[in-house]
Amino acid sequence: MHDQPDQLEPESLVREISDLEGRIGELRQASGMPEADLRATLDAALVELDLAVTALRTMGADQGTEQGGSNAAENERRVLRTVFQDAPVPLFLLDRNTSVRRVNRQAAELLGTSSGYVSGKQFTAFCDLATRAAVRSQLAAVVRTGRRRRVPVRFLGRERPVDAVVTLARVWIRGEPDPMVVVAAGAARPPADAQGTGDESKGAGAAGRAAPAKRDGTGKRATARPDGGAPRVPEPAAPPQGRAPQPQARIDDEAVATIVHRMDVLATASELLLDEPVFNETVAVRRCARLLAAELADWAFIDLTGPNGGASGPGGAAAGTAPALHRQVVMGPDDEHSVEAARTLQELHPAAGTLPHDVFVTRQSALRPHVESLDELGNAGDGVPVCAKIGATSLLSVPVEDGDRCLGTITLASGGEYGPFDLMDLGVVQRLGRYLALVIRAARLYRRRAEVADSLQASLLPRALPAIPGASVAARYLTATHGADVGGDFYDVFRVGDGWGLVLGDVCGKGEDAAAVTATARHCMRLAARWKSRPGEILGVANEALLDEDRFVTAIMAGLEITPERVTVSLGTAGHPPAIVVRADGVIRSASRGGVPLGLFEDFEAGSDTIDLGVGDTLILHSDGVLEACDHARLEFGQERLLEALAGQAGGTPEEMLGAVEQALLEFCDGDLRDDVSMVALRVDAPTLD
């Protein structure tokens, strides 16, 4: 090694200027980060200014090089390698682009990883984000000026960050065209929070966030070597002078606790994802992200395709055909800055070239224990890299796939406050991605089936109620909250001779078979009304048509004869709850019961009753789903609560009366309807002058 002059060739000067521009941009980003070290950034900016001035003065000067014999050079290299490896302090050898060419054993132990993993990576990838830009500028200054510098650095260690002061020195090595930098780390000490100060808000990864129970009970975790080696248990910190080293039993306990913690995370995830009476994709995704952000990471991102998207086949989608990923949820710390950042990142969908997008297309998990490029997650709307905005120094991303299609990705980000992600973390999140994919697939199948059921159900009900002269009519239909099958309730309003008919029925059971019976019953009654006029006779025709079916039907039909003075209602009942009459003065009466369900016996006779309605009187038909709705104690809503709800709206319109019943019903059962509910109301209006 020997010193070289400070002059540069024109080609080198151009490269220096380009590098200078890049470092200045990084300093601008660093100054805007939360908890930025503005003093260090200012010092680095002054250094860059000195470099710019020096570069302008060094046009065209030649550099001299010393030549020596090949044997002497080889001997020198051998001696230097020996001294480098056996040095009692951590040493890093960097090229002029700040990539690590070699580290000694002490440096590898400082970072808690292997020498092979460190080599080839950017030195600043092992520094926290708050000091990265300043360190990069100081390294450039050392390369350019040859002056040694001392810089405070926070290394991202395997278990937690380690504070140190590093000395930077420029060296020239025979056979190397460019100068190199030797970095010697000294005065290493644990961060303030590890010394018992209780201040856990330091570090770029979790600004203002108290240490969560993300690791085992000791705050440590078993780590896998980033270079792909087998997982290993974190070694305890060196004991104070004069104190015996930590016993092996303690290390074994920590390893067991770490494994148990990860098993607990998976068990908790299973409970959270499956603890739904009906699969709900949105609920599952948010629960998954919340668990990961609380237990394994500082930030959790979940990105998914639409219901029909997803790359198929082992190689992913063909070029140019991959469906778009859409950001579903972002979970991070709960401090003000992080909440605002999460709100912004919620709208930032993964673009091509970002880590989540690459993982989705290739269907291959990715682990970045130490992030070198801050644009791995793309750039925010203000141009700042997402990793810089959230302080991410370690990333992992896994596909969410169900074995057939890739539905999206789960991406975790950490600031390194508890060490980088490892292979064990990756394995846990991969398994969780599989669980989430199965839940999402089930939820989407359920939703598609529910949509088909809704469409089929809608086809069994009238699109709109006809206008009846002298009366107002309203109807309500509430589907059960459990299951995605077609319900058996139906209602209809149609002409019967010179009057009108109202019918409401309930088919036993649910599903496509029940829907077929529902359609048969409804349309049979409409058809029978063309040559039959009395409700009992119309129900009798429907009974004959339903005898060959394997399901019975309860029904009630009201035939209306409308005159200027009154409306006469003829009721026919087939094993159905009786009609209710709400008089204009608030008095409530129930019609008589009677009849047997349709489709059971050839010898059928409907129950019958006749009611006269005056102006302001209202007729109510309803299914048994109203009466049998239950609260959490399995207590039924019942007839009395129904009558009370109707009495409270006795002077209201039919729409208002049914709305009051619906509200009382949903409040009683807390929105959990076990059966479909159908209601029809007809009110006699006052005669008009027309």
Mean pLDDT over 385-402 rounds to 92
CA distance 241 to 403: 55
Choice between 550 and 51, residue whose per-residue pLDDT is larger: 550
Output the pLDDT for position 453.
Answer: 59
Neighbours of 97 (CB within 10 A): 13
Q: Pick the most confident of 150-154, 185-189, 395-399.
A: 395-399
Output the pLDDT for position 683.
Answer: 94
Starting from the edge strand earliest in sequence, which strands make up the sheet with 553-562, in order? 489-496, 499-507, 553-562, 567-574, 607-613
Cβ atoms of 297 and 394 within 8 Å: the answer is no
Q: Which residues contact 413 (CB under 8 A, 6 or more apart)?
A: 297, 298, 299, 300, 301, 377, 387, 390, 392, 394, 395
Output the pLDDT for position 449.
Answer: 65
Choice between 671 and 484, residue whose per-residue pLDDT is larger: 671
- 249-450 and 460-684: identical CATH topology: no
What is the fold, at CATH topology level, of the domain defined by 249-450? Answer: Beta-Lactamase (3.30.450)
Mean pLDDT over 538-554 rounds to 91
Whether the per-residue pLDDT at 494 is higher than 60: the answer is yes
Whether the per-residue pLDDT at 176 is higher than 70: the answer is yes
Output the pLDDT for position 172.
Answer: 81
Is the pTM of the predicted complex or chain greater than 0.85? Answer: no
Q: Determine the 3-state secondary structure of 145 from DSSP.
A: helix
Choice between 51 and 466, residue whose per-residue pLDDT is larger: 466
Cβ atoms of 202 and 189 within 8 Å: the answer is no
Torsion angles phi and psi, residue 401, rounded to 5? -130, 145
DSSP structure class, residue 237 = P
Whether the per-residue pLDDT at 652 is higher than 80: the answer is yes
CA distance 17 to 22: 9
Output the pLDDT for position 287.
Answer: 85
Number of H-type helices and E-type strands within the chain: 17, 23
Residue type, 275: D
Strands 231-232 and 223-224: antiparallel
Choice between 205 and 369, residue whose per-residue pLDDT is larger: 369
Residue 207's pLDDT band (boundaries 50, 70, 90)? very low
Residue 114's pLDDT band (boundaries 50, 70, 90)? confident
Kindly report, residue by residue over 283-300, the tens digit of the pLDDT: 888 888 888 888 888 999
Cβ atoms of 653 and 472 within 8 Å: the answer is yes
Query: Span 10-194: which CATH code?
Result: 3.30.450.20
Tokens 């009753």 -> residue: 609
Kindly report, residue by residue over 54-109, the tens digit of the pLDDT: 655 554 344 444 444 556 556 556 656 666 777 778 889 998 888 999 898 889 98
Output the pLDDT for position 270.
Answer: 65
Whether the per-residue pLDDT at 324 is higher than 60: the answer is yes
Whether the per-residue pLDDT at 469 is higher than 70: the answer is yes
List the alpha helices (DSSP H) in 87-192: 105-111, 115-118, 129-145
Among 210, 232, 203, smallest CA distance to 131 is for 203
Residue 485's pLDDT band (boundaries 50, 70, 90)? low
Residue type, 67: Q
Helix axes 10-31, 129-145, angle to 10 degrees: 160
Q: Determine the 3-state secondary structure of 375 from DSSP.
A: coil
Cβ-based burial of 152 (10 A; exposed 0-12, middle 13-18, buried ≥19): middle
Tokens 């705050």 -> residue: 219
Domain residue spans in the chain? 10-194, 249-450, 460-684
Whether the per-residue pLDDT at 305 is higher than 70: the answer is yes
Kindly report, residue by residue over 585-644, the tens digit of the pLDDT: 889 999 988 899 999 999 999 999 999 999 999 999 999 999 999 988 889 999 999 999
Mean pLDDT over 641-658 rounds to 91
CA distance 68 to 75: 11
Whether the per-residue pLDDT at 140 is higher than 80: the answer is yes
Kindly report, residue by residue over 550-569, the tens digit of the pLDDT: 889 999 999 999 887 789 99
**Of the given ranges (149-158, 512-521, 556-565, 626-635), which has the lowest mean pLDDT?**
512-521
CA distance 236 to 245: 9
Whether the per-residue pLDDT at 206 is higher than 70: the answer is no
Average pLDDT for the chain: 78
Whether the per-residue pLDDT at 251 is higher than 70: the answer is no
**Of the given ranges (4-13, 117-126, 304-313, 629-638), which has the lowest mean pLDDT?**
4-13
**Of the given ranges (338-342, 350-354, 450-454, 662-666), which has the lowest mean pLDDT?**
450-454
Output the pLDDT for position 619.
Answer: 95
Query: Span 460-684: which CATH code?
Result: 3.60.40.10
CB burial readout 610-625, b (16+ within 10 A) else e: ebebeeebbbbbbbbb
* Percentage of the residues of the chain whose pLDDT score is greater than 70: 71
Output the pLDDT for position 76.
Answer: 54
Output the pLDDT for position 599.
Answer: 92
CA 403 distance to own-chain centroid: 20
DSSP string for residues in 465-499 = PPP-TTEEEEEEEE--SS-SSPP-EEEEEEEETTE
Whether the per-residue pLDDT at 129 is higher than 60: the answer is yes
Whether the per-residue pLDDT at 413 is higher than 80: the answer is yes
Mean pLDDT over 251-276 rounds to 60
Tokens 């005669």 -> residue: 687
